[in-house]
Amino acid sequence: MPEQDRETSEYIKGFNEGYLITQHLPDLADRLATIETDVPRVGGFKDGRKQYALDQVRNNRAKWAAKETPSKAEKSQERDFDRE
């Protein structure tokens, strides 16, 4: 296997590991992300961790945007006060 293919394979393995470990064991992922090295697998791990965080933001934003907004009639019912 050529060196570049091996590095790409290692990067992909690290990316997938980073994504999954961040999903299931975020404290461990935080500690592993502090490793300073030029190894492709560790770089992939860090990128996978970042990708999981981005996916969570996108999913939460989509859920927030999908919530129904109250209609004008519902809003006016909420504001209906007895004035005495």
pLDDT at 57: 92
- Say what the pLDDT of residue 62 is: 77
Please tell me the total count of domains within the chain: 1
- The pLDDT assigned to 61 comes to 82
Residue 84 included in any domain: no
Domain for residue 56, yes or no?
yes
CA atoms within 13 A on the CB side of 81: 3
DSSP string, 22-81: HHH-HHHHHHHTT-----HHHHHHHHHHHHHHHHHHHHHHHHHHHSPPPPHHHHHHHT--
Q: Which domain holds residue 32?
A: 3-67
pLDDT at position 19 is 98
Q: Report pLDDT for 3.
A: 84
- pLDDT averaged per 10 residues, the chain (length 84): 88 98 97 96 97 93 72 59 60
Domain assignment present for 76: no
State how far the Cα of 46 lies from the Cα of 20, in Å rounded to an integer.
12
pTM of the model: 0.73
Distance CA 56, CA 79 (A): 35
